[in-house]
Amino acid sequence: MMAVAAIANVSSIVTSLPLVSGIIACAVFLLFISLVGLVGASKHHQVSVGCVFQVLLFFYMIVLFIIFIIQFSVACACLAINADQQRLVAAKGWVEGGESIQSDAQNFFGCCGYVNKNYNLTLESEHPSCMEIPRCCPDMTEDDVCCQTTGVCGCGPCNEPVEVVMLRGFNLVGGIGLFFSFTEFLGVWLTVRYRNQRDPRANPSAFL
């Protein structure tokens, strides 16, 4: 997850530092929980410290189950979102992103503006200048005419490319999240199954 966050930070069109920080924080937390489970599993059969590591394994099991519920819910939500909800999220992101994000998106996708589809969130004329995008206004020199309401535009709006990328992102995040949520559930089941198992190499009288 930390590698995914780093790659996303480098390759994303618009860097979202809170999002990247959140992913890294979750990865560090999961790394800590996995270390707790590893230590608890390797030491729980020792008689002298067995009770301590039994509690550690129980703590690991509870936290991992909570993470499974959260991740499973988020993955299902990502996979269940419909087209209208995706369009609404994309339109809100366009409006709230500001001019800098809009300009980055226009340059990356080679599009101009964002068509208002009855969400009352943005207007066709409210977007950064498209003069720097070669295929939008190749033969124009006036910024107030390029891709404005009454002007000519050689490129389409950013609706479709943004929505396509968003759909791919939702499916990717949902699929990966669903897969790893079931691996977490498997970890919980294995912890419950083997938490009280005795070490076959130990002295049987030590448990009496």
State what percent of residues in the chain have pLDDT above 70: 58
Predicted confidence (pLDDT) at residue 28 exceeds the cutoff of 60: yes
Q: What is the mean pLDDT of residues 162-186?
A: 80
Given pLDDT bands bounded at 50, 70 and 90, which one contains residue 207? very low
- CB atoms under 10 Å from CB of 5, counted, come to 18
Tens-digit pLDDT profile for residues 121-169: 444 456 777 777 777 777 666 666 667 655 567 777 888 888 888 777 7
The better pLDDT of the pair 18, 103 is held by: 103
Going from N- to C-terminal start, the domains of the chain cover 2-197
- pLDDT over threshold 80, residue 193: no
Which residues in 61-92 are b (16+ Cβ under 10 Å) and which e? Answer: bebbbebbeebbeebeebeebeeeebbeebbe
Q: What is the mean pLDDT of residues 34-56?
A: 62
Say how far apart CA 65 and CA 71 lie, in whole Å.
10
On whether the CB atoms of residues 57 and 91 are closer than 8 A, the answer is no
- Average pLDDT score over residue span 177-196: 77
Give the whole-angstrom CA distance, residue 208 versus residue 206: 6
Mean pLDDT, the chain, rounded, equals 69
